[in-house]
């Protein structure tokens, strides 16, 4: 795992689906779209396509560029292809193994089904154990297979009806694309914790994606967000987008979409991500002012909030940290010295901090290790003072809805006060944005469970471990 990202809430997943009224290069569209969603998961990638009769799947561990070689893309070329789904994965339930990569496919009474999932089901273990006792067989250790198993077992129901029934049984945060040979479906949990949007292709086709950043790449126009609790689908029989409100909507989308996860050029649930990040920084400046000479972001996720902090405080903004774009993914070595080297490989202090009182703006602190190394780096480069400002509240609770925020015992804010964290990272001062500040900045209802332990979409009995399904 990348040491720099070890101190961040780690990515969820990205889902994508394409349906066309006429044969098109579905694999090519999905391939391009997954590049736009790569920031949501870098452990595995996969694509399924169908021409109405044949279904082809390619998936593996790695980045989109690593998995989809020209040879693999050639295998996905179906002359009459009209629909398909894609996925980029970060494992939040189940190990990072090839058989856990998505999309998952099964043969069932409804034909071949394929599913791509972003999120977590908080009652997956309970339902999986029930299905196992009834004779079900599982091939993976992820919770996605629980959903597809439920759908497949409702053999007397249509695909749409079976999906709606499974949506009612499973709890948690989820956005999903699902297909058989002729029909593409997409659906979202009742709280809308995980994002999902609808786009329209120029030929009248439809695209479902985790973020609208996909659409410009593949020639689609944004239509709207999938509503919380909504099931939408399009089939070769009608060619029309159809919808059913399966679950009573209670919107509380994940605040971290605007704080950190989504691309800054995205708009989710009508709220512009970049503008929200600037407002987070403005709120932070009002709540936690400090006398300083320069505002410096931790790149890249701290840039928007740092701009906002600078604007509201009047303190000049500058790039006091250089991020090496060629460092690629690095992996933790067993010594402390080697771990520190990984941060230095990715980041270096610039002359903008020399002799200055620095406001260092970042989006979050999970364990505190990387934050401490960055503070030391700035002071070694000549910064007189380093005042750390975080554009989110302290993360004190784990996320059960598709973000790997680590177990509670590994969250520094769960066991340390703000003053203790400040001392640990070596900052001259430390302040976090308040929950009301987050709400004001984002401007809509949001899930704050990782900050306050209040889980709007339910929670498991006890702390759900990432590998909980591997022993069942």
CATH number of the domain enclosing 108: 3.60.20.10
Checking if the pLDDT of 251 tops 60, the result is yes
Please give the tally of structural domains in the chain.
2
Distance CA 283, CA 322 (A): 26
- Tell me, yes or no, whether 323 and 209 share the same domain: no
13 given a catalytic annotation = yes
95: in domain: yes
User: Rounded to whole angstroms, what are the CA distances from 127 to 307, 358, 424?
Assistant: 46, 51, 42
The DSSP 8-state label assigned to residue 11 in this structure reads: P
Catalytic residue among 4, 12, 13, 262: 13
461: in domain: no
Report the DSSP beta bridge partners of residue 17: 85, 208
pLDDT band at 341 (very low <50, low <70, confident <90, very high): confident
371 is in an annotated binding site: no
Distance CA 83, CA 65 (A): 22
In contact, 95 and 467? CB cutoff 8 Å: yes
User: Rounded to whole angstroms, what are the CA distances from 275 to 103, 111, 117, 267, 307?
Assistant: 33, 45, 28, 9, 10
- Tell me, yes or no, whether 8 and 92 share the same domain: yes
Query: What CATH number has the domain bearing residue 430?
Result: 3.40.50.2020
- Tell me, yes or no, whether 222 and 326 share the same domain: no
Label the pairing between strands 13-19 and 44-50: unpaired
Domain that holds residue 311: 268-452
pLDDT for res 142: 76
362 is in an annotated binding site: yes
324: in domain: yes
In contact, 114 and 105? CB cutoff 8 Å: yes
Checking if the pLDDT of 24 tops 50, the result is yes
- Tell me, yes or no, whether 137 and 278 share the same domain: no
User: Rounded to whole angstroms, what are the CA distances from 407 to 3, 96, 414, 439?
Assistant: 17, 17, 10, 25
pLDDT for res 436: 98
Checking if the pLDDT of 468 tops 80, the result is no
pLDDT band at 131 (very low <50, low <70, confident <90, very high): confident
- Tell me, yes or no, whether 282 and 214 share the same domain: no
Q: What is residue 280's three-state secondary structure?
A: helix
- Tell me, yes or no, whether 291 and 331 share the same domain: yes
| Torsional class of 183: left (φ above 0), alpha (ψ -120 to 50), beta (otherwise) | beta
Checking if the pLDDT of 13 tops 80, the result is yes
- Tell me, yes or no, whether 396 and 426 share the same domain: yes
Strands (E), 122-229: 172-179, 183-188, 197-201, 206-209, 220-225
- Tell me, yes or no, whether 216 and 280 share the same domain: no
6-15, 33-42, 74-83 — which is least confidently predicted? 6-15
300 is in an annotated binding site: no
pLDDT in tens, 85-117: 999 987 544 444 676 789 999 998 889 999 999
409: in domain: yes
202: in domain: yes
pLDDT for res 462: 62
In contact, 367 and 411? CB cutoff 8 Å: yes
Range list of H helices, 261-398: 273-287, 303-313, 336-346, 369-380
Nearest to 359 by CA among 323, 408, 407, 318: 318
Task: Tokens 């004779």: give the residue.
Answer: 135
pLDDT band at 454 (very low <50, low <70, confident <90, very high): very high
399 is in an annotated binding site: yes
Looking at 220, 252, 284, the residue that finishes a domain is 252
27-41, 143-157, 421-435 — which is least confidently predicted? 143-157
* pLDDT, averaged across the chain: 90
pLDDT in tens, 349-404: 999 999 999 999 999 998 898 999 999 999 999 999 999 999 999 999 999 998 87
Checking if the pLDDT of 285 tops 80, the result is yes
Checking if the pLDDT of 37 tops 70, the result is yes
Task: Tokens 């989006």: give the residue.
Answer: 363
- Tell me, yes or no, whether 322 and 244 share the same domain: no
- Tell me, yes or no, whether 158 and 278 share the same domain: no
Q: What is residue 99's three-state secondary structure?
A: helix
Distance CA 308, CA 280 (A): 7
């Amino acid at each position: 795992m990348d040491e720099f990202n070890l101190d961040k809430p780690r990515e969820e997943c990205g889902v994508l689906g394409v349906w066309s009224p006429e044969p098109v290069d579905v694999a090519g569209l999905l391939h391009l779209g997954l590049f736009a969603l790569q920031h949501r998961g870098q452990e595995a990638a996969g694509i399924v396509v169908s021409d109405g009769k044949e279904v082809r799947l390619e998936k593996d561990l790695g980045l989109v560029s690593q998995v989809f070689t020209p040879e693999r893309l050639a295998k996905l070329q179906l002359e009459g292809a009209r629909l398909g789904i894609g996925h980029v994965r970060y494992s939040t339930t189940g190990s990072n193994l090839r058989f856990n990569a998505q999309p998952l496919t099964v043969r069932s009474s409804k034909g071949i089904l394929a599913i791509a999932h972003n999120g977590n089901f908080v009652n997956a273990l309970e339902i999986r154990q029930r299905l196992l006792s009834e004779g079900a067989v599982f091939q993976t250790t992820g919770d996605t297979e629980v959903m597809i198993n439920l759908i497949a077992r409702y053999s007397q129901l249509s695909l749409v009806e079976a999906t709606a029934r499974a949506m009612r049984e499973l709890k948690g945060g989820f956005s999903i694309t699902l297909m058989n040979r002729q029909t593409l479906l997409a659906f979202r949990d009742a709280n809308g914790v995980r994002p999902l949007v609808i786009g329209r292709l120029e030929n009248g086709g439809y695209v479902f994606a985790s973020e609208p950043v996909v659409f410009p790449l593949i020639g689609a126009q944004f239509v709207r967000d999938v509503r919380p609790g909504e099931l939408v689908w399009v089939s070769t029989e009608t060619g029309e987008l159809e919808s059913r409100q399966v679950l009573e909507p209670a919107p509380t989308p994940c605040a971290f979409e605007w704080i950190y996860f989504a691309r800054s050029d995205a708009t989710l649930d009508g709220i512009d991500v970049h503008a929200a990040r600037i407002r987070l920084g403005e709120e932070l400046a009002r709540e936690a002012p400090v006398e300083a000479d320069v505002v410096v972001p931790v790149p890249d996720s701290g840039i928007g909030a740092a701009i906002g902090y600078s604007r509201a405080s009047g303190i000049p903004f500058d790039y006091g940290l250089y991020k090496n774009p060629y460092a690629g993914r690095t992996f933790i070595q067993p010594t402390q010295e080697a771990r520190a080297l990984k941060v230095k490989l990715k980041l270096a202090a610039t002359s903008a901090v020399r002799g200055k009182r620095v406001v260092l703006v970042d989006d979050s602190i999970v364990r505190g290790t990387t934050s401490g190394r960055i503070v030391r780096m700035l002071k070694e480069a000549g910064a007189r003072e380093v005042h750390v400002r975080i554009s989110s509240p302290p993360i004190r609770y784990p996320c059960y809805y598709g973000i790997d925020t680590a177990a509670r015992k590994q969250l520094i804010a769960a066991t340390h006060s703000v003053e203790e964290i400040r001392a640990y990272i070596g900052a001259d001062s430390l302040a976090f944005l308040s929950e009301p500040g987050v709400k004001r900045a984002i401007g809509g209802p949001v899930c704050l469970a990782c900050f306050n332990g209040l889980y709007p979409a339910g929670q498991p009995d006890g702390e759900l471990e990432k590998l909980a399904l591997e022993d069942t």
